Structure 1
């Protein structure tokens, strides 16, 4: 880590430019690079290294990620001290698994952008120690216990008093004097999990996702924080609305079924409603701006860059079949399907020519099949060849 690297990491405009696309900042850094051409290659290299913190790969070593993470945390520590907020984050960055560092960085940025909120404070103040990558889903309980769920498809059930049953077998008891702080369920790439919350809401979490939630819902609202993709079957409680918060949006419901895809690296957040009704609010909305209300079989697509939201009539099955290990698509860009396959199998698929990814394809994948069988099917529907580079990397060619 050079002095120049440290100089940029300690610049809040630099970090915001990398993790939150902003046209005005993009112009600022374009001008800066034009005026300082001697720094261009190092800035581009540092930007790439920081972006790789968000993905599950082995491009950076654990030591490199820890060093970058600690520099970011040091910067945040100084900013937070100025606003008299205290966060215990160092251990978080020190022990976070390589496979889920993207969620850690996302969590930090969400907290800083949402202001002084008790819910996020509880989340941020937890010291998190996650087992090394390569394991199954990880549950971090309210008392700080780390539980490696081992199975790639796990079941976690919470009772009303906060007792946890794992995979219909082992039990983690709840204690009455235990504070009701945040739990976290972390799903590395190549895994999925089903979670039943204490109010009987059922959540299916897709690969590369994380959900932060209380062991018991004791406030006037039932709030959870999502990174990645999840399908919710919300139990009805008119006195306690259920709210899903993401980095940019919050979705409020009473009792309904819907899917949210809000991966940190995606430019678009998609909310698809199957049953009931949901209202969607941008975290940066003004006081008098109205919430967007969805009807069944509608999808709200929020663009993180333009901040625009568009509503479409859709076939809900295309967005929810992943909960059954299926992936259905109709005239969808090949790159979008590839991204979903990458997450499910924890692999990397590149394109020898960028235009190959723009091909629109249709079909249905059974993700319960072996990886090679799924890739062979993709070759047929895309009229391409998918060559194996190594155990985790593939290349799409004509």
Structure 2
């Protein structure tokens, strides 16, 4: 919820809103049905015993002296007068009782956070179906979420999709762009793209298949790198230094603290490090294998593999000595076969010892 609108709602509920602000609020609620829904829920919460008890124990004189807000006295008298001061001054605590109650997302679940602060646990298969948010619709299934704002009038307020360790998920944006999210990744995106550009922000790793629209370039922000595309398929890995691998089409890359702009051709990747890009060919199997639950590695250190184990299996990885960290390994890790098979093979081929206990994998 936008703080200004939230404050107007609270002022209206307390009876201290000006005629001008009241008219503005009513107009906004008519234009955006989701605001009207929030207001009704706030009104309902205000009448609940727990909120009434909270307001009853406010020190209204102290609140009034501290507020410096010039409220108009409401016909219901001193109680509502103090309520307004309490709402505006102690909003962070009172809103705990007044704000729309949303069931907290399950820890470790895939979470979609809407612009109004509501969090939806996408890991809960009972949530499958269609959600109506203003003029937009969100279609939820077990493995993907799709935004539908075809009428072009949906709000551009930002949503956040968080994919935790051990999970992966697909997002279809309002323009039809498809985004596959790897574990421990996050994307910030608008409900609809109504501007001259289509912009999102990513952390972690994601593969984009961008819907072509020459009039509105698609821009992905990841760490210190911006990727500008029209209609393209590419992978972006921003767990550490941003790495962009182009599968098809063409992209232009720009560093945040650099004037350097480079273009990639399909089959090549760029890594941004110390304000410079380095370009090289990439192995599609190695770079995109994660989308099939496979991690191919060639001359990778066990420490690097440990980072993948942490993301894919939600397990903390620790090393008792630097020798184990630097161990050079070539092979494959798959989600389907599981971690135990990989560790057993690692022990047999390298002699490295490990202990997996209470969610912690320790190499000795």
What is the TM-score with the length of structure 1 in the denominator? Answer: 0.59
Equivalent in the alignment of 1:224: 200
Q: Is the 8 A contact 2:146 2:173 kept in 1?
A: no
Could you tell me which runs of 5 or more consecutive residues in structure 1 were left unpaired when the two chains were aligned.
1-89, 96-128
Which residue among 166, 185, 194 is the counterpart of 2:140? 166
Give the aligned partner of residue 395 of structure 1.
362
By how many angstroms is 1:360 displaced? 2.1
In structure 2, the CA distance between the partners of 1:241 and 1:368, relative to structure 1 (3 Å rule), is: same
Asked whether the equivalents of residues 222 and 238 of structure 2 are also in contact (C-alpha less than 8 Å), the reply is yes
Q: 1:157 to 1:283 in 2, by over 3 A?
A: farther
The aligned counterpart of 1:297 is 267
User: Across the two proteins, how many residue pairs are aligned to each other?
Assistant: 263
Offset from partner CA, 1:325-369 (integer Å, 9 cap, x none) = 111111222211110111111111112211222222111222123
Alpha-carbon contact 1:143-1:178 (below 8 Å) kept: no
Q: In structure 2, which of residues 219, 229, 250 is the aligned counterpart of residue 243 of structure 1?
A: 219
The structure with more radius of gyration: 2
TM-score (norm 2): 0.64
Query: Are residues 219 and 173 of structure 1, via their aligned partners in 2, closer, same or farther at CA, if it must alter by over 3 Å?
Result: closer
CA spacing shift, 1:157–1:261, aligned 2, 3 Å = farther
Deviation at 1:251, TM superposition (A): 0.6
Deviation at 1:294, TM superposition (A): 1.1
1:363-374 aligned within 5 A: 363-374=331-342
The structure 2 residue matched to 1:281, chosen from 245, 254, 260, is 254
Provide the C-alpha distance between the structure 1 equivalents of 2:116 and 2:352, rounded to a whole number of angstroms.
50
Shift of 1:380: 4.3
Query: Are 2:307 and 1:331 equivalent residues in the alignment?
Result: no
Change over 3 Å in CA distance of 1:294–1:132 after alignment to 2: same
Structure 1 residues 173 and 205: CA distance shift in structure 2, 3 A: closer
Q: RMSD over aligned Cα, in angstroms?
A: 3.4
For 1:360 and 1:224, the matched residues in 2 are separated by: 37
Cα separation, partners in 2 of 1:198 and 1:395, compared to 1, 3 Å: same
Counterpart Cα distance in 1 of 2:203 and 2:302:
24
Question: SS of the residue aligned with 1:163?
Answer: strand
* Aligned counterparts, 1:1-398, within 5 A: 131=104, 134-150=107-123, 162-167=136-141, 179-263=155-239, 266=240, 268-285=241-258, 289-303=259-273, 306-380=274-348, 382-388=350-356, 390-397=357-364
